[in-house]
Structure 1
Amino acid sequence: MRVRPTAQMKLLVLGINHQTAPLAVRERLAFTPAELEGALGELARVKGVSEAAIVSTCNRTELYCNARDADAVLGWFAAQRGRPVDEVAQHLYRLEDDEASRHAFRVAAGLDSMVVGETQILGQLKDAERAARDAGSMGVLLNGLFKRAFQVAKTVRTETKIGSASVSMAAASIKLAERLFASVADCKVLFVGAGEMIELCATHFAAAQPCSIVVANRTLERAEALAGRFGGEAMLLNDISTRLAEFDIVVSSTASQLPIIGKGMVERALRARKHKPMFMVDLAVPRDVEGEVAELSDVYLYTVDDLSEIVRQGVASREGEIEAAEGLVDAGVAEFHQWVASRTLVPTIRELRDHTDRIARHELARAKKRLAAGDDPAELLERLTEQLTAKFLHAPLATLNSAAPDEQELLAAATRRLHRLPTEDNE
């Protein structure tokens, strides 16, 4: 069966991010780590999809596919998340081929992030690539894409200073806390969760030397491991409701599908605190803190979207670095385009080699028979050369001679280029 190469290498990216969808939409469409393996297997079985990877973070959910039908992928995405197609489509970007690879490279380099130049997204892309590999949904095209995305990110990090002045979510959180409290050193801080984002936040807050640090997590062992690094205390998530009033600052980032801290819980804590202000940062998607908590007068609640203006500070001062990074991305796109083109030609090159090899073997077998029958070797070699030349040239000459007038010039130029024949320019 002959398969058209172009049908096998169609890069497609469908996604939403902090620029196209508000937090409420992003959290509805996000995939949890536990869902990824099953979702990848299902996506790879969608008609027209031969490879698939999913990137799902607090700021984006993106489907990377080798696929012929974007509408089929969109339909699957909407059905998976239990949302109408029209609702998903209004927030969606759909990118193909070069634009898709450019997007992937910009994401890896931190150019598409809320915090321009941040490095956390690169680790998240590597996690997505690993998950797709483990699920068996990774193939030649996506393997090549992610490999080059990581190379572009490394080059951007090495050759520009794009990340040198970036303001992370953690740094932005402590900046906001310092606006509310005279000194973070006088505050008690609760971290909810024990993942990478909480670890980063704890590092920043610990540098301000708060009077106490507590880490709450579903498993006490992991909470103890993180809290121990900062001289803090560990507790279980179930204990938050009874101890929330102790804390001036609460930073949360878990993978929970339901809010951990509700409005009622916070109201009880505020009464116990005699309405002393409480600063809360919810970096989770879906949210860990009920949105209604923001309505309470003594609570200052910030989500990832609320931090966007702060984390964008300093971008103007890095415009030159951003421009240089975009240039490196463009170079990566050109290189990847050439690689995809070369992979697309592989079946044609293989068929051409097989075709010429069959001709050569057939004529060689005939010559060996004539040699065994006693024919003159010199005459056999001359005849073999003539037969090979005639056979190799038969198809291209027949095509040239039978071509329509409007095709002849193009075919003639292509033939001269393929066989490196003299042209008017180089005669």
Structure 2
Amino acid sequence: MSVWALGLNHTTAPLDLRGRFAFALDQIAPTLHSLRSSFAGNSSHPQVEAAIISTCNRTEIYCASEHIALDHTFGWLAQSGGVAPALLRSHAYTLHDDEAARHAFRVASGLDSMVLGEAQILGQMKDAVRAAETAGALGSTLNQLFQRSFAVAKEVRTATEIGAHSISMAAAAVRLAGQLFEDLRKTRVLFVGAGEMIDLAATHFAAKEPKAIAIANRTLERGEKLASRFGGEAMRLADLPARLAEFDIVISCTASTLPIIGLGAVERALKARKHRPMFMVDLAVPRDIEPEVKALEDIYLYTVDDLAQVVQQGQANRQAAVAQAEVIIDAGVQSFMHWLGQRGTVPLIQQLNAQADEWRAAEMARARKLLAKGESIEAVLEAMSRGLTQKMMHGAMAELHAGDAASREQTAQTLSRLFLRKER
């Protein structure tokens, strides 16, 4: 069995290219079905296990099958994103077997994140695994890979200080907003969306006690639930353009495939605000805010990639923890590869067990017949034990007498090792 992975992340691909390969959680199942169906016509890969991890910073595909099929997976992903395979290859990375396992363990542990040591990626990976399992795309090999990833991540977080001094994307946004506005308590903050990232951002901003908080969401009920936690108001996404001018700070992160805050809407908001500055953060991939907005005067727009420099601060303090984490990950990789190697003997073990059961059933049937004829129990047990022994030894004895001298010697050594071991 082989495992392979390919992906692109914040270190290898620009935001707009990553946006072409972003999959919302409810898109994972049909996307996995499409991927696995693309393998169906290939006799070498009739059953491929698959999982997709898609966040604002990465999209990664993990697969498992008897044979690695990176080229096919590359072609499928390029087609799904509507880009040339050559362009995708120039920004993607490919991994297989121990390298794929090591990468999965590092991602789960927060070592491959823009925010070193952040814990959010672990929850996102668990969501992706549940989605793959629900879609029927997760087999025993990938399930084992991810369960071991979660165990390694837990050990890394428990045994090291990898998460210490970590600056989250939400905290970075608060820090930047504080540089623009002298007193955040006098600001009005609008959050667009109601997902996990917005929840986190709202928690950080609420701690600064802004003058007002509002949640704009496509589903009003979900927006109201989140707004109630922060003493804010909820509004429909459709009302956003008309009310945009009311807010000094706008944080957006939705699953929309197209921008929901356009250049025109922001221009009208600025005019209504008499060009008082607006601080905007677009945490979505693909973008929620049209990139042209950044060129407007009095607009301070940041994307997830723009926050990279801020969140990297303090990383030097965690390098010792990284070294400790890598040791834990190395041990995890070795353990997984040992398990994967053993998987190759499973069919043989199953065949041996089936053969042994067949012999046992045959001898049991013969024993019952002898008992029915009135034979003594002692004689029946003797006959059954001899019958089983002869069946078990027949193949070995035949091999011992077959072939040339060299092959007989090799067979003799093997049989001696298998049958003449001294019990400790």
TM-score, reference length from structure 1: 0.88
* Contact in 1 for aligned 2:359/2:388 (Cα 8 Å): no
1:374-413 correspondence to structure 2 within 5 Å? 377=379, 384=387, 387-388=390-391, 390-394=393-397, 396-397=399-400, 401-402=403-404
Separation in 2 of the partners of 1:191 and 1:71? 41
| Corresponding position of 1:213 | 213
Deviations 1:4-50 (A, max 9, x none): xxxxx221111111111110110011112332221111222232152
| Corresponding position of 2:42 | none
Give the share of equivalent positions with the same residue, in percent: 53
The alignment partner of 1:46 has SS state of helix
Question: CA 1:169 to 1:63, structure 2 compared with 1: closer, same or farther past 3 Å?
Answer: same
- Segments of structure 2 that go 5 or more residues without pairing to the other structure are 40-44
Counterpart code for 2:215: V
Counterpart code for 1:187: T
* Contact in 2 for aligned 1:191/1:202 (Cα 8 Å): yes
| Corresponding position of 2:15 | 23
Separation in 2 of the partners of 1:269 and 1:385? 88
The number of residue pairs the alignment matches comes to 412
* Contact in 1 for aligned 2:29/2:131 (Cα 8 Å): yes
1:26-425 correspondence to structure 2 within 5 Å? 26-47=18-39, 48=45, 49-67=47-65, 68=67, 69-358=69-358, 377=379, 384=387, 387-388=390-391, 390-394=393-397, 396-397=399-400, 401-402=403-404, 417-419=417-419, 421=421
Separation in 2 of the partners of 1:350 and 1:398? 27
Separation in 2 of the partners of 1:124 and 1:53? 12
Structure 1 residue 86 displacement after superposition: 1.6
* Contact in 1 for aligned 2:364/2:384 (Cα 8 Å): no
Deviations 1:255-314 (A, max 9, x none): 111111111211121122222211111000010011111111211111000111111111
* Contact in 1 for aligned 2:215/2:235 (Cα 8 Å): yes
Counterpart code for 1:65: C
* Contact in 1 for aligned 2:363/2:388 (Cα 8 Å): no
Deviations 1:221-262 (A, max 9, x none): 221111111111211112221121221111110111111111
Deviations 1:130-153 (A, max 9, x none): 111111111111111221111112
Separation in 2 of the partners of 1:300 and 1:111? 30
* Contact in 2 for aligned 1:78/1:84 (Cα 8 Å): yes
The alignment partner of 1:30 has SS state of coil
* Contact in 2 for aligned 1:367/1:384 (Cα 8 Å): no
Structure 1 residue 355 displacement after superposition: 3.2
Counterpart code for 1:14: L
The alignment partner of 2:48 has SS state of strand
Counterpart code for 1:37: A
Separation in 1 of the partners of 2:140 and 2:221? 40
Structure 1 residue 61 displacement after superposition: 0.8
Question: CA 1:389 to 1:206, structure 2 compared with 1: closer, same or farther past 3 Å?
Answer: closer
Counterpart code for 1:255: A
* Contact in 2 for aligned 1:363/1:388 (Cα 8 Å): no
Separation in 1 of the partners of 2:339 and 2:159? 23
Give the stretch that moved more between structures: 253-262 or 379-388: 379-388
* Contact in 2 for aligned 1:194/1:222 (Cα 8 Å): yes
The alignment partner of 1:190 has SS state of strand
- Segments of structure 1 that go 5 or more residues without pairing to the other structure are 1-8
Question: CA 1:369 to 1:230, structure 2 compared with 1: closer, same or farther past 3 Å?
Answer: closer
Structure 1 residue 125 displacement after superposition: 0.9
* Contact in 1 for aligned 2:19/2:287 (Cα 8 Å): yes
Give the stretch that moved more between structures: 132-141 or 373-382: 373-382
* Contact in 2 for aligned 1:245/1:269 (Cα 8 Å): yes
**Aligned Cα root-mean-square deviation (Å):** 2.8
Structure 1 residue 175 displacement after superposition: 0.8
Give the stretch that moved more between structures: 299-308 or 336-345: 336-345
Question: CA 1:343 to 1:246, structure 2 compared with 1: closer, same or farther past 3 Å?
Answer: same
* Contact in 1 for aligned 2:247/2:278 (Cα 8 Å): yes
Deviations 1:359-392 (A, max 9, x none): 5666777788899798995996896587346404
Question: CA 1:182 to 1:65, structure 2 compared with 1: closer, same or farther past 3 Å?
Answer: same
Give the stretch that moved more between structures: 70-79 or 40-49: 40-49
Question: CA 1:316 to 1:395, structure 2 compared with 1: closer, same or farther past 3 Å?
Answer: farther
TM-score, reference length from structure 2: 0.88
Give the stretch that moved more between structures: 74-83 or 198-207: 74-83
1:12 paired with 2:4, answer yes
The alignment partner of 1:258 has SS state of coil
The alignment partner of 1:45 has SS state of helix
Separation in 2 of the partners of 1:403 and 1:94? 48
Separation in 1 of the partners of 2:386 and 2:137? 53
Question: CA 1:233 to 1:388, structure 2 compared with 1: closer, same or farther past 3 Å?
Answer: closer
